Structure 1
């Protein structure tokens, strides 16, 4: 039992190669189709076929054997020369079966004998459908070819190596694809890498090779992107590999990514690190020179100016005892002014080089600085320091200078009425917190090019390998927090100790 042909909503356009009008009428009368009747157009000979093919598209060509004015092979060649997928169906008399089979072997799509023309609609429908599928397949292949061409052009012009690296369940690696960039990057041709992935691993330094294998293993296990940097064995150039893993059902892992030459970036980073190290060394030298100069000035204030002020006070006291009563008040006023000058000299000396820092430690120096700040500015300043905090001289001096700088900034900019300084130990670190209730700080304030105070604090903390954070507090004001490692300083021999300036000079 034959299946009825599917209904078609659009009439087919059939080109009939035949010089017999009776055959056309026979085809038309025998057509059994649940749909519109096809439009039959009859031509004869190759010239007529060529001109008719140019006139419009055709769904199929029917070739009446011995009545077409050309052979099936010539008609088929005409269709192929024009790149057409139009099916060619031969209609033959039963007596021409041998010629019909020969035509079928030459490439025609089907043969229908005149005594079985009821097969023609189904044959036409099948061949038209398959011709459409062939056309779609060819279009897909052309699109795939264009896409592959564009991909290869893109990959070859990228500044690096595009690759597909596969690892099988046994742990063996194989490159499925390698772009032409492998020659520029590694000096190895793509076909050599596809033949042996070991060529790539062998081109790396031994230590970096093990790092890449470990990174591939971690990426395969976790599914995280592969991010690896390493050096080539031959010339020491740096390469960077970035890829995403895809795990197959059979246990294979495929990485698709790119490897690029980052030697210039690495050299720039190294130069930048060296420049920063030189700047840090210069900054350290300047700070050391500054501290030496401060110490010299403080010593001069103590030894020279202090002695002069003491002698002046003694002389003023002797003079007051010998003056008449009406002049004694003036002498005592001079003594009071000398007391103020001595106090000011003592405070300046402590700020320049606090002897209390060496004698009693960091906590006492911070508490003394808080008292001096409150006295000189009128801003309440509370210092809370844990007992027993011991640090080396460099750390103690840096933290003391940070407290000085922070309090100076608060006095200049914060408009605060209360400052709290907290010094404590935390997990092997010394933590310094300075909080005020002023107007707070904005992000733009942190980025100002002339914020030398904050920049100096940050550089001091970095020199101590610590961390630094400053921001507006939740309840208003500004909060500064820094952490530095607690390093115990070695005891200094008394013979080698620097001269100590007393906390109260006079």
Structure 2
């Protein structure tokens, strides 16, 4: 017994034959070749139709010359049922013309009944080819389904899916664009695939160089492309985002697969938020200005009117006490206590007036004002506090609003430390670095937590951040490296002018 050439030795054969001798010879040939055939014999058209419609067959072997059922009729029946099966005709010797007609009509092979040596090899060949055709149809069906799913998905995405190819000669061409191109650009798919220049010409003239540069960089580094810019579409300006990944081919081509999305609405919202932020910033600056004016008025009233009244009261009290030489000792002590309270009141009024409107800031400058504030803080709270200022600040004339903002920030920070930090040591450092004013405040207290900064009523930090933002500066606050809290800010000497970033240098430790 031979070894079958097909992987599966079992074959399901449909034998179309009106006699008994022919099918037996055919089956015996397959058994000798090592196969285990299962078979069924039919002898008329009705039985053939029923067998083809209800069972699966590997091959149909049709004898020529069956009364009422010719090989050509059997072939037509298979076509009607849309079956692709190996169909081999077995004809008597001398029926060459009939064999030729069968072959022309679609039979896969014709064999002489007296010479069946080619039967098994012919069936093996045709079965392999039929199975290959079936696999190909299945693959094509899967490919069709996959393409259909992809096109459905692409057509429902909010944008245009694309494949852009840069050929080895530098020419750019869209190999595929989804239906979203019509909504974005007003063109049909074949318009863009026919000429990619339509797309590049639609890009705003100011943004076009940026797109070309981004594409060139993506091609050079084989890096993802993520670009935002404007296009002109239907006499309107739209914002788009292009996101794609490049892929190089062995032929020297570069393929970008990606999506173009309409981000006009997002850009509009972004613009509205920016304008709202600018308006809030302007309102905040206005309120700060109004607050400073009110502070100046109150400080002036305290200094001029309340201070004068307290001085007058003290003088009158001193005169009154001098006219009581024979008064009881308790009464003199009362007069002395009143004078002491008046001294405290005058000191408090003077301190409040200075805090409301620090005259030292105008007379001696920011460094001296901060030193004075630090000394006053240490005296009032008992917390050790020292200030360090840079000699490079000498002769630097800051705008009044910049000096005042930095002074208020120091005030606010020291107030927060006194209330919440439980610190025993505070250090304030004011320096000048490459056109920037840098202020650092550290303490050795309990430290600040992320939850503290996220509190909805942390108005102190919000106020500091808003002041810095209005001056075009940077602000950060975090837990210190060795405990406590570290507040750092950097603002340009002249707000509105971008200063160069400071060079990295070892930071001097404050404590």
Q: Which residue of 2 aligns with 1:273?
A: 274
Identify which range, 229-238 or 179-188, moves more after superposition. 229-238
Question: Structure 1, residues 306-331: CA drift from partner, whole Å, max 9, x if none?
Answer: 22222333334444444317455544
Q: Which residue of 2 aligns with 1:361?
A: 365
Per the TM alignment, residue 213 of structure 1 is displaced from its structure 2 partner at its CA by 1.6
Question: Structure 1, residues 115-155: CA drift from partner, whole Å, max 9, x if none?
Answer: 33122111112211221111111011111111111111221
**SS of the residue 1:116 aligns to:** coil
Give the TM-score, by structure 2 length. 0.90
Q: Distance in 1 between matches of 2:67 and 2:377?
A: 115
Count of residue pairs the alignment pairs up: 487
Question: Structure 1, residues 209-252: CA drift from partner, whole Å, max 9, x if none?
Answer: 22222211111111222212222222112222111111222222
Q: Which residue of 2 aligns with 1:74?
A: 73
Structure 1 318/387 Cα, relative in aligned 2: closer, same or farther at 3 Å?
farther
Q: Which residue of 2 aligns with 1:498?
A: none
**SS of the residue 1:124 aligns to:** helix
Q: 2:342 aligns with which of 327, 338, 359?
A: 338
Q: Which residue of 1 aligns with 2:440?
A: 433
Per the TM alignment, residue 373 of structure 1 is displaced from its structure 2 partner at its CA by 1.5
**SS of the residue 1:306 aligns to:** helix
Structure 2 regions of 5+ residues with no counterpart?
Answer: 497-511
Q: Distance in 1 between matches of 2:361 and 2:268?
A: 43
Q: Distance in 2 between matches of 1:432 and 1:87?
A: 90
Q: 1:382 aligns with which of 369, 386, 403?
A: 386
Structure 1 270/30 Cα, relative in aligned 2: closer, same or farther at 3 Å?
closer
Q: 1:466 aligns with which of 452, 468, 473?
A: 473
**SS of the residue 2:431 aligns to:** strand
Structure 1 regions of 5+ residues with no counterpart?
Answer: 490-506
Q: Distance in 1 between matches of 2:347 and 2:391?
A: 28
Per the TM alignment, residue 32 of structure 1 is displaced from its structure 2 partner at its CA by 5.7
**SS of the residue 1:117 aligns to:** coil
Q: Which residue of 2 aligns with 1:20?
A: 19
Q: Which has the higher contact order (CA 8 A, sep 6+)?
A: 1
**SS of the residue 1:108 aligns to:** coil
Q: 1:397 aligns with which of 400, 404, 407?
A: 404
Question: Structure 1, residues 417-441: CA drift from partner, whole Å, max 9, x if none?
Answer: 2222121223332221111122222
Q: Which residue of 2 aligns with 1:182?
A: 181
Q: Which residue of 2 aligns with 1:124?
A: 123
Verify: 1:284 aligned to 2:285, yes or no.
yes
Q: How does 1:206-285 map to 2 (within 5 A)?
A: 206-233=205-232, 234-285=235-286
Structure 1 203/7 Cα, relative in aligned 2: closer, same or farther at 3 Å?
closer
Structure 1 159/9 Cα, relative in aligned 2: closer, same or farther at 3 Å?
closer
**SS of the residue 1:308 aligns to:** helix
Q: Distance in 2 between matches of 1:487 and 1:445?
A: 32
Identify which range, 307-316 or 111-120, moves more after superposition. 307-316
Per the TM alignment, residue 207 of structure 1 is displaced from its structure 2 partner at its CA by 1.4
Q: Distance in 2 between matches of 1:320 and 1:463?
A: 55
Q: Distance in 2 between matches of 1:444 and 1:85?
A: 73
Q: Which residue of 2 aligns with 1:500?
A: none
**SS of the residue 1:207 aligns to:** coil
Kept in 2: contact 1:421–1:432 (CA 8 A): yes
Q: Distance in 2 between matches of 1:331 and 1:308?
A: 18
**SS of the residue 2:260 aligns to:** strand
Q: Distance in 2 between matches of 1:68 and 1:184?
A: 66
Identify which range, 56-65 or 164-173, moves more after superposition. 164-173
Kept in 2: contact 1:225–1:242 (CA 8 A): yes
Q: Which residue of 2 aligns with 1:151?
A: 150
Q: Which residue of 2 aligns with 1:93?
A: 92
**SS of the residue 1:433 aligns to:** strand
Per the TM alignment, residue 268 of structure 1 is displaced from its structure 2 partner at its CA by 0.9
**SS of the residue 1:115 aligns to:** coil
Verify: 1:348 aligned to 2:356, yes or no.
no
Kept in 1: contact 2:29–2:120 (CA 8 A): no
Give the TM-score, by structure 1 length. 0.91
Structure 1 444/77 Cα, relative in aligned 2: closer, same or farther at 3 Å?
farther
Kept in 2: contact 1:434–1:481 (CA 8 A): yes
Question: Structure 1, residues 133-192: CA drift from partner, whole Å, max 9, x if none?
Answer: 111110111111111111112212222111111111222211111111111111111111
Q: Distance in 2 between matches of 1:83 and 1:152?
A: 29
Q: 1:371 aligns with which of 363, 368, 375?
A: 375
Per the TM alignment, residue 6 of structure 1 is displaced from its structure 2 partner at its CA by 2.0
Kept in 1: contact 2:15–2:61 (CA 8 A): yes
Q: How does 1:194-209 map to 2 (within 5 A)?
A: 194-209=193-208
